């Protein structure tokens, strides 16, 4: 397993764990204290930030060639998946309220940082999954 795969696994695990814990905390808080205070459960999404330490934790690979043309192509495709996921997330978050509330409704500007954060989390998750999917078919002796 190379460095990119290790970092991708760290992102997948931390984002999945953060999303799960956040959803549980939000649900429990919603039934205990109500809606405005239940949003505090989303603070557990900060767990996903641990994934940002991946490049520091996993050092450079040993060997003469650590990043070749195939790896560059995998990263390029993963970046395209990342762009697509973030574009889809922003589009969905902006258009779903339009279809539910109608064209005359308005949304507070205070939701914009949340939309930006959700798009970022979707982008990093999609990037990591794309990396793992593309490296998935390799055997140990091929690395």
What predicted TM-score, i.e. pTM, was given to this entire model? 0.81
**N residues, the chain:** 143
Confidence of residue 141 (pLDDT cuts 50, 70, 90): very low
* Residue 118, C-beta contacts closer than 8 angstroms, at least 6 positions apart: 89, 93
Confidence of residue 2 (pLDDT cuts 50, 70, 90): confident
Asked if residue 132 lies in contact with residue 9, where contact means CB atoms within 8 angstroms, the answer is yes
Strand residues in 29-129 grouped as ranges (E): none
* pLDDT value at 134 more than 70: yes
Distance, CA of 85 to CA of 61 (rounded, Å): 29
Distance, CA of 19 to CA of 92 (rounded, Å): 18
Instruction: State the pLDDT at residue 128.
Output: 94
- The residue with tokens 């589009």 is 91
CA angle 102, 30, 112 (to 5 degrees): 45
Positive/negative CA dihedral, 12, 121, 16, 133: negative
Q: How far is CA 138 from the centre of its chain?
A: 24
* pLDDT value at 130 more than 70: yes
* Residue 57, C-beta contacts closer than 8 angstroms, at least 6 positions apart: 10
């Amino acid at each position: 397993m190379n460095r990119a795969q290790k970092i991708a696994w760290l992102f997948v695990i931390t984002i999945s764990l953060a999303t799960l814990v956040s959803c549980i905390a939000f649900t429990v808080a919603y039934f205990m204290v109500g809606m405005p205070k239940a949003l505090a459960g989303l603070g557990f999404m900060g767990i996903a930030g641990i994934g940002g330490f991946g490049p520091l934790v996993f050092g450079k690979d040993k060997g003469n060639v650590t990043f070749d043309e195939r790896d560059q192509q995998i990263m390029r495709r993963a970046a395209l998946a990342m762009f697509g996921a973030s574009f889809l997330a922003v589009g969905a978050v902006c258009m779903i309220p339009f279809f539910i509330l109608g064209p005359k409704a308005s949304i507070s500007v205070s939701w914009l940082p949340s939309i930006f954060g959700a798009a970022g989390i979707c982008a990093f998750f999609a990037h990591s999954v794309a990396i793992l999917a593309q490296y998935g078919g390799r055997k140990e002796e091929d690395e």
